[in-house]
Amino acid sequence: MELWKKAWRHGLSPRLSEAGLAALRQALLHNDRRLIQKATTCPSPWALYYQEEIEAACALGFCAWQGDGLKTVGEVSDFFEKVCQAADQALGEPAACRFFLNWFDDTPRPLMRRLLLAEVNRALRRRQTVAA
């Protein structure tokens, strides 16, 4: 299994809410320009902007913003850090989430959307199966 998928499947997606994954799914399906690569949030997560409202976010931040209702750069940035730390711990490797994050940032957008959509759909199906 590719390292980015392992990081996503076993580290990150289990820590994202169903509402967050559903919001990410819609963004991937519709090429939502608020889903950004190469940055965690827009505006940037500098202290100066921590109270500013989010305008765009990466995959993890998008889940928190559009799925979980977090509104500010600071809230989404804190969520991002907590999810990454929990994923690294679950994967048993410091900074293991980087495999997904680097893949997400560096993969051409059309390919990233197609591959990540498949993974988001997989995660949502698994949750529905477990709930049933």
* The predicted structure's pLDDT at residue 117: 98
List of E strands, the chain: 41-42, 56-57
Helix (H) or strand (E) holding 28: helix 18-29
**Residues of the chain falling short of pLDDT 70:** 132
Q: Would you state the pLDDT for residue 49?
A: 78
pLDDT at 129: 85
Q: What is the value of pTM for the model shown?
A: 0.94
pLDDT of amino acid 46: 76
Cβ atoms 58, 39 nearer than 8 A: yes
pLDDT at 115: 98
pLDDT at 44: 87
Name every residue whose Cβ is closer than 8 Å to that of residue 71 and which is 6 or more positions away in sequence: 53, 54, 65
